[in-house]
């Protein structure tokens, strides 16, 4: 249960000394929750960083890595231990590079602190294509009420799987549908072609190198056989995109069975 602590400054000094001794005496193990998450392509999930111990703290700071070709970051921020308190909280969240983000939450009051157990931080992700990625913390820091780092804080890795839910159909039929770009590399636009063995519902999307969907080229029913769609190098808002590598993804559902095919293209500038 979340316990909010507010002490006079004299008591805080004594409390800090006791907390420093107790924090150094045992390792504090944080955890990702839920463990071994599975989501479908195009769906989102919330992954929490949890504290199970009754530890007093003021700040959480994290740097996390993942496979940006399989999942993309939607958002991140303070967990419920912070948001359910009455304290003023300063938080930050940014992607340092594709596949890595840094986040923090800190109580602004110098004499204030929180105590576990509960959720410290939350991260929302979107599945891109089928696959499995480890979620690993390369830095995990908890700070005491006096802003000193609590020693021996760990956060074990977890796993996130992106895959379609099993269907009631028995054996999957043979499926061949390569995405072909012409030209590739291209400037300013390219044509995306593919062959479908049967008609059905498709979603054809373009993602940038950071794993963010920038435009949807088609969502709806198409016929069996060859299909072609053009991309003019712009996002859904009409803004011209910079040169670089882009991911083209075809999600289709044919005869009740889901398939995903991807290919890469290079936009020259």
pLDDT tens digits for 37-96? 888 888 889 999 999 998 899 999 999 999 988 898 999 999 999 999 889 999 999 988
Quick check: 117 pLDDT over 50?
A: yes
Mean pLDDT of 1-5: 47
Asked if the model's pLDDT at residue 129 lies above 50, the reply is yes
pLDDT at site 8:
53
**Half-sphere exposure of residue 24: CA atoms within 13 angstroms, side-chain side:** 7
Mean pLDDT of 245-269: 84
The structural domains of the chain, ordered by start, are: 3-162 (2.60.40.680), 180-267 (2.60.40.4070)
Residues 7, 133: contact at Cβ < 8 Å? no
Residue 12 host element (H or E): helix 9-25
Band (pLDDT 50/70/90 cuts) for residue 145 is confident
**What pLDDT, on a 0 to 100 scale, did the predictor assign at position 21?**
42
Residue 64 buriedness (CB in 10 A; 0-12 / 13-18 / 19+): buried
Could you report the per-residue pLDDT of 13-42, keeping only the tens digit for each? 444 444 444 434 458 999 999 888 888 888
Percent of the chain surpassing pLDDT 90: 47
| 201 Cβ contact partners less than 8 Å away, ≥ 6 residues apart | 220, 221, 252, 253
Indicate the SS3 state at residue 18: helix
**Cα 47 to Cα 126, 140, 181, 209, distances in angstroms:** 11, 15, 35, 23
Average pLDDT over residues 95-121: 89
Total Cβ atoms within 10 A of residue 190: 24
Checking if the pLDDT of 190 tops 90, the result is: yes
Mean pLDDT for 128-137 is 89
Q: State the pTM of this model.
A: 0.58
Q: In this structure, are residues 194 and 157 in contact, taking their beta carbons and an 8 Å threshold?
A: no
pLDDT at 255 over 80: no
**Higher pLDDT, residue 21 or 223:** 223
Answer whether 150's CB lies under 8 Å from 61's CB: no
Average pLDDT for the chain: 83
What percent of the chain shows pLDDT beyond 70? Answer: 85
- Judge whether 69 and 103 are in contact, CB under 8 Å: no
Cβ-Cβ contacts under 8 Å for 267 (sequence gap 6 or more): 185, 186, 187, 188, 233, 241, 242, 243, 244, 245, 246
Q: How confident is the model at residue 12 (pLDDT cuts 50, 70, 90)?
A: very low
pLDDT value for 20: 45
């Amino acid at each position: 249960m979340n316990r909010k602590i507010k002490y006079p400054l004299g008591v805080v000094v004594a409390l800090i000394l006791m907390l420093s001794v107790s924090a150094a005496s045992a390792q504090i193990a944080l955890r990702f929750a839920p463990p071994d998450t599975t989501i479908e392509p195009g769906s989102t999930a919330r992954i929490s960083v949890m504290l199970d111990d009754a530890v007093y703290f003021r700040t959480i700071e994290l740097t996390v890595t993942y496979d940006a070709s399989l999942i993309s970051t939607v958002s991140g921020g303070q967990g419920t231990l912070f948001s359910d308190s009455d304290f003023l909280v300063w938080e930050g969240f940014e992607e340092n590079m594709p596949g890595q983000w840094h986040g923090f939450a800190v109580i602004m009051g110098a004499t204030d602190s929180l105590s576990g157990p509960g959720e410290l931080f939350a991260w929302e992700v979107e599945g891109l294509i089928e696959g499995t990625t480890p979620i690993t913390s390369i830095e995990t820091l908890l700070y005491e009420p006096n802003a000193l780092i609590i020693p021996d804080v760990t956060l074990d890795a977890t796993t996130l799987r992106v895959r379609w839910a099993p269907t009631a159909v028995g054996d999957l039929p043979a499926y061949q549908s390569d995405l072909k770009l012409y030209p590739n590399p291209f400037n300013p636009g390219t044509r995306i072609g593919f062959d479908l063995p049967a008609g059905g519902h498709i979603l054809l999307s373009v993602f940038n190198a950071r794993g963010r969907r920038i435009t949807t080229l088609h969502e709806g029913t198409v016929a069996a056989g060859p299909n072609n769609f053009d991309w003019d190098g712009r996002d859904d808002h009409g803004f011209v995109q910079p040169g670089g590598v882009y991911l083209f993804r075809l999600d289709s559902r044919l005869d009740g069975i889901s398939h995903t095919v991807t290919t890469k293209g290079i936009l020259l500038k």
